Amino acid sequence: MDMYLVDVYLLFPLLFLFGAAWGSFLGAAAYRIPRRLSLVKPRSHCTSCRRQLQPLDLIPVFSFFIRRGRCAYCGNPLSWRYPLVEAAAGLLAVVVFLRYGLSWLFAVYIIMAYWALLLATIDIEHQRLPDVLTLPGILVGFLFNIILYLQSGVVHVTARMSVAPTWHLSWLGNSGSSVFWPGWEVCAPVFSPWHSLLGIVVGGGILTLIASAARGGMGWGDVKYLAAVGAFIGPGAAGLVLFLGALIGSLVGIAMMLLGRVNRRQPIPFGPFLTAALILLIIFGPYAAA
């Protein structure tokens, strides 16, 4: 009978807190980057009264509830954006780990998911995707492909997982049954330098065509965003992200119009739907060999 020093379930709260701490940073970055403020100075503070936050204000997710959604010093309401982004980042760390284990793919996907979450948060508030995030994404995606290509022994042909993996299986990221992950590798992310280049051209290219044809609605920020997604996961997967994103966006748009929340002329940012699609692909999608 096997004996384990620690159970895998002990890891989940730690992973959640690790992710939520990054979520704290993402929430601050989503506020500061579009306003062209420094990411490091000044330290975290209330945006109304400028008081520097104390340790009790800096616990991801929980601080918001401890302080009942208000600044402890001036009483101004705090944005829901912070606890939401922190909780999302915490959950992503757990789920992406469950899927990929401790591997290069975990590193690539969690970085890509956090970058996408940051872009979605900014797009919701400002209706734009800053170049300072999308353009480096193209380069980083390409570099990751070189790393994964050189590490290609780690990348399996088909991913498998179960809901309740044990410690060692989860650690290796190869748990579970093939029932959940039938082989639909056509749209699977493929990691190689030339695939990445093709992803940039195809991802950016399709949206360039749509953006020029549509004249408005679709912005150049979306074009650069999808080019970067293509740089990370290749042309087929980038196409799938675009298709899924458009599908989710249409459904949400129709639902919001029916609920009277928006009218037909009001532009809805597309970035959050690309992000939702990308995260769905990371969690549920297939993955293929380099």
Taking the least distance from each CB to Zn ion, the nearer of 73 and 220 is 73
Q: Tell which positions 56-75 bind Zn ion, by CB under 5 A.
A: 71, 73-74
Contact by Cβ (8 Å): 188, 236: yes
Contact by Cβ (8 Å): 163, 283: no
Shortest Å, Cβ 69 to Zn ion: 12
Q: How far apart are CA 159 and CA 175, in angstroms?
A: 9
Taking the least distance from each CB to Zn ion, the nearer of 74 and 132 is 74
Q: How far apart are CA 226 and CA 116, in angstroms?
A: 11
Contact by Cβ (8 Å): 132, 33: yes
Q: Tell which positions 1-40 bind Zn ion, by CB under 5 A.
A: none
Contact range with Zn ion by CB under 5 A, out of 42-50, 54-62, 156-164, 253-261: 42-50
Shortest Å, Cβ 49 to Zn ion: 3
Q: What are phi and psi of 45, to 5 degrees?
A: -145, 165
Q: How far apart are CA 175 and CA 261, in angstroms?
A: 43
Shortest Å, Cβ 53 to Zn ion: 9
Choose which of 29, 33, 46, 95 interacts with Zn ion (CB under 5 A).
46
Q: Does 181 bind Zn ion (CB under 5 A)?
A: no
Q: How far apart are CA 91 and CA 101, in angstroms?
A: 15
Q: Does 149 bind Zn ion (CB under 5 A)?
A: no
Residue of 252, 258, 142 lying closest to 193 (CA atoms): 142
Shortest Å, Cβ 44 to Zn ion: 12
Q: Does 49 bind Zn ion (CB under 5 A)?
A: yes
Taking the least distance from each CB to Zn ion, the nearer of 76 and 250 is 76
Taking the least distance from each CB to Zn ion, the nearer of 49 and 132 is 49
Contact by Cβ (8 Å): 257, 264: yes
Q: Tell which positions 70-109 bind Zn ion, by CB under 5 A.
A: 71, 73-74
Encode burial over 165-196: b for 16+ CB neighbours within 10 A, e otherwise: bebebbbebbbbeeeebeeeeebbbbbbeebb
Taking the least distance from each CB to Zn ion, the nearer of 76 and 212 is 76
Q: Does 116 bind Zn ion (CB under 5 A)?
A: no
Q: Does 48 bind Zn ion (CB under 5 A)?
A: yes
Contact range with Zn ion by CB under 5 A, out of 43-51, 187-195, 200-208, 260-268: 43-51
Taking the least distance from each CB to Zn ion, the nearer of 11 and 53 is 53
- Side-chain-side CA neighbours of residue 128 (13 Å): 8
Shortest Å, Cβ 34 to Zn ion: 21
Contact by Cβ (8 Å): 161, 98: yes
Beta bridge partners of 177: 161
Site size for Zn ion (CB under 5 A):
6
> Can you tell me whether residue 67 is helix, strand or coil?
coil
> What are the residues binding Zn ion (CB under 5 A)?
46, 48-49, 71, 73-74
